[in-house]
Structure 1
């Protein structure tokens, strides 16, 4: 049994937070003693954390101010490996590990395309973290764990990071028995009682997700009975609703907010769409594939091309191209739902907990890659 630590800012509704909570549980299933430490604390996924995972909250008012408390914790509790996630948390963890003498056991991870993600958060301290992180990644003893080959290559191409400074581990997106589980009933009224075909998308209502392109593509579909549901919260809600009104489809587009069970909603849909401008390794796409529901994705950097095997599993279209996106959606809706269903499910299987945990343990404990 190995003693492992995961370091996050909190367990809010983001994809990285969800994946780290899942990883903690999967590492416990694999026979390890796991602690999940939050620099601030709380968040939506805290209530769903496996009870076997030890939870520590430092209650720091800001991530950067958690350095002293984190250093004291690392000094008092020796772990076989420590894993931090998200760039600004990585920087805090590196400084704290250096102060506590535990740098040799620290591993950091990048969850998104660094060259794109660094422009998202305008906070000065976050921008500063993105500025210094690549230099620190050159200096720390362990390679940065990236969620996809594309994320790793982006870090190499756009920063001073070298090939030897990165390694790859898959996200633990799916339960090991996902093939045997029947989806729960959806919660959305359009999916519970369908009067026509329904397209579903899932993600933060933020520019990265490209939902403006999706709504534009949806508005150009010839069938006026098709509906679109976008599950998620974010700052662009009003802007997206205004766009739907301008395009005359407001009565057929719904933004109901966050959903506790996206798999249930996607499984009941006729098509899932990932319209992102950039990603790291899109978990929502993997979840959608696992249900067997037809999918369409942009060829965004990074992840979809790898997950969809270059378009063999499902259509890939250019980013910010509503015409191409509409054509791909129309093709999927006009094709038998069972066509390539098994291929979609098989593509998702790579991201089962047991498979992903082995890639993480190989990185954290310097084991041979599985």
Structure 2
């Protein structure tokens, strides 16, 4: 068995962080010795790390200050394979591995649509990271691992990375910790004591996730007299746009119908009690929450955004996928999904490729290839 090191910034409650933990756990279950190496420290996803997975926290305040601490740890760990995730961490780890003569051991993972993601990360360090990343991918010994075909194609189309520099592996969404959550009970009062049909959305309250678009679509839905008291919308998550979204709720007169309760400790439990999940994102990489909703047997509707939803929903495209940024179409599709029974029997076949064991096998094949 091999020694595997996964390098990530921290284990905050984001999708990339959760996927790296699930990947580490699944690789450990296959008999490998796995270490999660955090550039910073802590995070909500520490709670789901397997006892068999070692966690090292460098506790660096800034990515730029992490070069030497990361170099010392990677040299000491003597890994057979190294995986990094998130663009700025990929650049850092590539440079460290170059300095150690370990470039041949490194696989990097691109988690989002590169051409869109670089536009919303505006800090000087992040801009530098996004400028350097394509060169790292071009001259890496192993192909960068993209989370969807759309992410891979975008990276090739908008940077110096070539097709041979990129491979695709599915996220490990359906994992042990996820399956345990299926046995839990919802906590939101609108889901515990339902007065009508409840729509939910989950994600960081930021521009990318498009919750402002969802609010407009929902307002069109409830503006119909017959729907006034019939529907509710819950958006779980926290982020920098909370004040703007709260004001938007007031401006659209949606106060009685919309709830922004914050971060969900167990989003799967909330999903299971809801009637519809909506993904209104402006862009994605491969939206894990969409797969989680389908695994929780919840009907789904999503914008055909770049990238991920179309690949996931190909088998149910007519029922679930909405033209990109078409708010009226989103409202109409939501209403149809709430009023008609959705065939969710096909969902298990769709999400089977996102099982953690299968994802870990594919990642390991790429990482350990000579």
| TM-score of the aligned structures, taking structure 1 as reference length | 0.95
> Match for residue 359 of structure 2?
356
Structure 1 spans left out of the alignment, 5+ residues? none
> What is the aligned-residue RMSD (CA, Å)?
1.6
Structure 1: distance between partners of 2:182 and 2:254: 33
> Match for residue 247 of structure 2?
242
> Match for residue 104 of structure 2?
104
Of 340, 346, 350, the match for 2:349: 346
Structure 1: distance between partners of 2:346 and 2:283: 24
Is 2:290 aligned against 1:275? no
Report how far residue 258 of structure 1 moved: 0.7
SS at match of 2:265: coil
Q: Which moved more, 1:241-250 or 1:175-184?
A: 175-184
Structure 1: distance between partners of 2:198 and 2:297: 15
Of 220, 224, 229, the match for 2:228: 224
**CA 1:279–1:296 in structure 2 vs 1: closer, same or farther (change >3 Å)?**
same
SS at match of 2:75: helix
Report how far residue 296 of structure 1 moved: 0.2
Q: Which runs of 4+ in 1 moved over 4 A?
A: 176-182
Report how far residue 123 of structure 1 moved: 1.3
- Where does 1:132-171 land on structure 2 (aligned, <5 Å)? 132-171=132-171
- Where does 1:64-103 land on structure 2 (aligned, <5 Å)? 64-103=64-103
Structure 1: distance between partners of 2:281 and 2:212: 10
> Match for residue 323 of structure 1?
328
How many residue pairs were aligned?
Answer: 365
Structure 1: distance between partners of 2:122 and 2:243: 21
SS at match of 1:212: helix
| TM-score of the aligned structures, taking structure 2 as reference length | 0.95
- Where does 1:170-319 land on structure 2 (aligned, <5 Å)? 170-175=170-175, 182-221=182-221, 222=224, 223-225=227-229, 226-309=231-314, 311-312=316-317, 314-319=319-324
Report how far residue 320 of structure 1 moved: 2.2
SS at match of 2:130: helix
Report how far residue 61 of structure 1 moved: 1.5
Structure 2: distance between partners of 1:242 and 1:178: 34
Structure 2 spans left out of the alignment, 5+ residues? none
